[in-house]
């Protein structure tokens, strides 16, 4: 039998303490065996008439309870019925409800992360004390997995914190820091970590003498007091926000909202029953499965050091230099400054440097809550960023990231000036989006200290970073860059060198196909609309504008040189460049951005500009447009897999979701297509095969179909 996770102790004769500390794990997780342990402990305490209170505490620093055991969810999924899900929810609710029924005060002493089932357990306690520790947070992120809280969260939280707060917390899925939890009434006291236990004990004593907790127990068991007009307003406003955020693709937030609105007029017990019923319809749904897949993709990357074996330790990076203050260089600099890393930025062009400097400050000083600049943040950032035109000032950096124009000669010239200045252990990385790293390393004295470090645009939003191992890149360099990328809040995957690496190699056929469609007479907006309908955050044409037409052209040229059989050298991009229509950065690209909000708008000049290259306007069904855009991407993924560009098919899905914003509710490109299987994909390809080699099935796909296998084994 596994060693217990819960330990019962008695710091005083009238005070019980349950310490949660799963042996050998960094976080406490609520598995079914832990629930059994809790049940048994509560049985034992029921007979103890001396008790004034029970305190829950974690034995792990920085973590109270991270949530339910998701691996148990996945294991149960293939066979579980709705009735069983309902029963499991009811079991959890009834077990936790004992914490609000026992004849003594129950207090959760929360010193760190308190999420999902952990937050539900805490909310069933009479009182919660939280520490002011940075990592102390309380949240119900179930909607991010396509679920709702199922152990009473949707019933307890609205009764404790108010319906409007509960709706925000549960339908948004974002955790609250301790201070906000206190303001919302979800925490009853806020103390420094070292005083957590003392505060919890004091709370037991106060409650015991005042008896206030008994009045709250009674109050929270009833319907919520809210008048019908306010309820209708709350429902309409929240529903509009959710619709705008989810575009109807994620059912859980709306399910949680409807449930909380409906159950607000019910007693607690009925609200719990309705919650279990709702949960049983969501558990195991396609979106739930897809989002669980994304969770595990993420978890896998968080644990990956990027290299085989454990002998090589990553070095620490304290000072970072960035060359090129354009879209990417300034984004990369901001990412570092936001994480407190001393950063030096340089650019050959004084104006570009000044513009980059301003963009970085705007970004790092921005306060999301206040929707404007924050003086405190600006003051913290000021000493961390230095802009200079003197390359010499980057000499002491542990890592220099080059983000100059996508031109191999220019990049090599930069390296030849920089490399002699760097210290013995200084690392050099390129943010190139397509140029093979090993070819950029030609001429370097220390190619082992050179690597690709490919951030995605916009850096503040895209979490992915590709760490590209050149032919001579050392394990230490790879491990250091993987660790460094994680430190600045990014999700790194290690990919093999080659044109476009992984993500741009897969993006290239998608972008390329958009130009084919344009040439065939499909309107810009129709192409973009189809991609968004499929779930992409923006269409390929708008993406050209965001990337920059010149950058996209250079990148496209590299791909065309590498794969001339399936990439076209369209004259459209050079035509835009000749007109200085470089995309968002110049105010005009395929669309015009010369409006107050900078949103893409049709530009009548474009039809004139495109006319010589395009057939007369025509339309195609949306499904056909999606097939045309997505299937070449899939075929490229199968080529990349057979060339071992990544170590696992899951990396393809991870890269597309976190690098391109591929819709998470689909679980990933390969995960999504696995639902239909390779034989069906071959059928879907057939009508397009005449379009050229870019639509011909690959041997990888055929083999899977022959063996009736899936991408995910
Ligand atoms: P950009 O055109 O916005 O900025 C490039 C900057 O480099 C300019 O400010 C320019 O003055 C400066 N520069 C040019 N030559 C220089 C030199 N010799 N020394 C110092 N500075 C020099 O370009 P962007 O978009 O920031 O791209 C930079 C790199 O990042 C390229 O390699 C590109 O392929 C890559 N990249 C671009 C992405 C995008 O979406 N734009 C995405 C990911 C990577």
How far apart are the CA of 404 and the centre of ligand 1, in A?
A: 4
Q: Is the Cβ–Cβ distance between 54 and 104 less than 8 Å?
A: yes
Q: What is the pLDDT of residues 70-127, one digit of tens each?
A: 989 888 888 899 999 999 999 999 999 999 999 999 999 999 999 999 999 999 999 9
DSSP character for 127?
A: E
Q: How far is CA 619 from the centre of its chain?
A: 35
Which of 592, 394, 473, 253 lies closest to 402, judged by CA? 394
452 three-state secondary structure: strand
Beta strands in 24-121 (DSSP E): 29-30, 53-58, 63-65, 67-68, 105-110, 113-115
Q: Is the pLDDT of residue 9 over 90?
A: yes
Average model confidence (pLDDT) across the chain: 95
Is the CB of residue 670 less than 8 Å from the CB of residue 637? yes
pLDDT(331) > 90: yes
Tell which one of 328, 357, 410 to mutate to probe ligand 1, the residue whose CB is within 8 A of the most ligand atoms. Answer: 328
**430 CA: nearest ligand 1 atom:** 32
Per-residue pLDDT tens digits for 540-581: 999 999 999 999 998 899 899 999 999 988 999 999 999 999
Residue 1 has a pLDDT of 55
Q: What's the whole-number mean pLDDT along residues 681-710?
A: 96
User: Which residue puts its alpha carbon closest to atom 8 of ligand 1?
Assistant: 326
323, 326, 432: residue to mutate for ligand 1 pocket, most atoms within 8 A of CB: 326
Asked about 454 being catalytic, the answer comes back as yes
What per-residue confidence (pLDDT) applies to 301? 92
Query: Which of 133, 454, 484, 516 is labelled catalytic?
Result: 454
CATH class, range 319-498 = alpha beta
Cβ proximity of 431 and 331 under 8 Å:
no
Chain centroid to CA 710: how far?
25
Q: What's the CA-to-centroid distance between 304 and ligand 1, angstroms?
A: 29
Look at ligand 1, atom 9, and give the residue with the nearest C-alpha.
326
195: number of Cβ within 10 Å: 14
- We find that the CATH architecture of domain 504-707 is Orthogonal Bundle (1.10)
- Cα–Cα distance, 271 to 258 (Å, whole number): 12
For the segment 585-614, what is each residue's pLDDT rounded down to a tens digit? 999 999 999 887 878 999 999 989 999 999
What mean pLDDT do residues 445-460 have? 96
Looking at the CA of residue 546, tell me the nearest atom of ligand 1.
40
- Write down the residue that tokens 């949660």 correspond to: 20
The pLDDT of residue 132: 94
Label residue 354 by pLDDT band (50, 70, 90): very high
pLDDT tens per residue across span 258-287 = 999 999 999 999 999 999 999 999 999 999
SS (HEC) of 323-378: ECCCHHHHHHHHHHHHCCCEEEEECCCHHHHHHHHHHHHHHHCEECCCCEECHHHH
Return the ligand 1 atom nearest residue 331 CA: 26
What are the residue boundaries of the structural domains of the chain, listed by start? 6-284, 319-498, 504-707
Q: Reply yes or no on domain 6-284 having CATH 3.90.226.10.
A: yes
Pairing, β 15-20 against β 6-12: antiparallel
User: Does ligand 1 have an atom closer than 6 angstroms to the CB of 405?
Assistant: yes
Atom of ligand 1 nearest to the CA of 432: 32
């Amino acid at each position: 039998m596994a060693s217990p996770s819960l330990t019962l102790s008695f710091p005083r004769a009238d005070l019980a303490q349950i310490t949660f500390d799963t042996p050998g794990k960094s976080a406490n997780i609520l598995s079914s065996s832990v629930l059994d342990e809790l049940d048994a402990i509560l049985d034992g305490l029921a007979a103890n008439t001396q008790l004034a209170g029970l305190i829950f505490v974690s034995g792990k620093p920085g973590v109270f309870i991270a949530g339910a055991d998701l691996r148990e969810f996945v294991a149960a999924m293939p066979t579980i019925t709705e009735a069983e899900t309902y029963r499991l929810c009811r079991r959890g609710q009834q077990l936790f409800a004992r914490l609000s029924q026992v004849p003594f005060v129950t207090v959760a002493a929360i010193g760190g992360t308190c999420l999902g089932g952990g937050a539900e357990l805490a909310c069933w306690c009479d009182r919660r004390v939280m520490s002011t520790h940075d990592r102390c947070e309380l949240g119900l992120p179930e909607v991010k997995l396509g679920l709702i809280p199922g152990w009473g969260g949707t019933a307890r939280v609205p009764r404790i914190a108010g319906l409007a707060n509960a709706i925000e917390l549960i339908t948004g899925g974002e955790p609250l820091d301790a201070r906000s939890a206190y303001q919302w009434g979800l925490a009853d006291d806020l103390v420094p970590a070292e005083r957590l236990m003392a505060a919890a004990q004091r709370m037991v004593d106060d409650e015991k003498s005042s008896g206030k907790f008994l009045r709250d127990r009674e109050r929270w068991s009833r319907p919520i007091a809210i008048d019908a007009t306010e309820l209708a307003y709350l429902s309409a406003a929240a529903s509009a926000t959710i619709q705008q955020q989810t575009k109807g693709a994620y059912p859980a937030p709306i399910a949680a909202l409807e449930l909380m609105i409906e159950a607000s007029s019910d007693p607690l017990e009925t609200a719990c029953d309705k919650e279990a019923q709702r949960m049983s319809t969501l558990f195991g749904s396609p979106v739930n499965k897809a989002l669980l897949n994304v969770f595990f993709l993420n978890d896998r990357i968080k644990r990956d050091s990027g290299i085989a074996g454990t002998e090589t330790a990553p070095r620490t990076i304290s000072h970072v230099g960035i060359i090129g203050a354009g879209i990417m260089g300034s984004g990369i600099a901001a990412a570092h400054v936001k994480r407190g890393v001393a950063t030096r930025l340089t650019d050959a062009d004084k104006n570009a440097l000044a513009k980059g400097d301003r963009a970085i400050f705007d970004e790092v000083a921005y306060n999301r809550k206040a929707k404007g600049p924050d003086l405190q943040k600006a003051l913290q950032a000021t000493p961390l960023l230095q802009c200079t035109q003197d390359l010499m000032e980057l000499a002491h950096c542990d890592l220099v990231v080059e983000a100059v124009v996508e031109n191999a000669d220019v990049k090599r010239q930069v390296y030849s000036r920089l490399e002699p200045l760097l210290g013995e252990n200084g690392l050099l990385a390129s943010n190139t989006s397509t140029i093979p790293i090993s070819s950029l390393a030609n001429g370097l004295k220390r190619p082992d200290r050179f690597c690709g470090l490919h951030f995605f645009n916009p850096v503040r939003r895209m979490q992915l970073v590709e760490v590209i191992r050149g032919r001579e890149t050392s394990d230490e360099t790879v491990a250091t860059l993987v660790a460094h990328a994680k430190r600045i809040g990014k999700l790194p995957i290690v990919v093999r060198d080659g044109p476009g690496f992984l993500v741009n190699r897969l993006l290239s056929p998608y972008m390329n196909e958009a130009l084919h469609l344009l040439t065939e007479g499909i309107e810009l907006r129709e192409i973009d609309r189809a991609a968004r309908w499929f779930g992409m955050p923006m269409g390929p044409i708008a993406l050209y504008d965001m990337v920059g037409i010149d950058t996209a052209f250079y990148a496209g040229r590299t791909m065309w040189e590498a794969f001339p059989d399936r990439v076209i050298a369209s004259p459209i991009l050079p035509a835009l460049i000749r007109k200085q229509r470089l995309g968002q950065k110049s105010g005009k690209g395929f669309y015009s951005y010369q409006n107050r909000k900078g949103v893409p708008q049709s530009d009548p000049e474009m039809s004139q500009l495109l006319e010589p290259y395009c057939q007369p306007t025509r339309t195609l069904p949306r499904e056909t447009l999606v097939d045309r855009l997505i299937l070449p991407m899939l075929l490229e993924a199968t080529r990349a897999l057979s060339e071992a560009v990544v170590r696992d098919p899951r990396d393809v899905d991870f890269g597309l979701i976190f690098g391109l914003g591929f819709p998470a509710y689909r679980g990933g490109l390969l995960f999504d297509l696995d639902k239909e299987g390779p034989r069906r994909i071959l059928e879907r390809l057939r009508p397009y095969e005449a379009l050229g080699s870019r639509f011909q099935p690959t041997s990888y796909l055929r083999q899977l179909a022959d063996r009736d296998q899936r991408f995910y084994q």
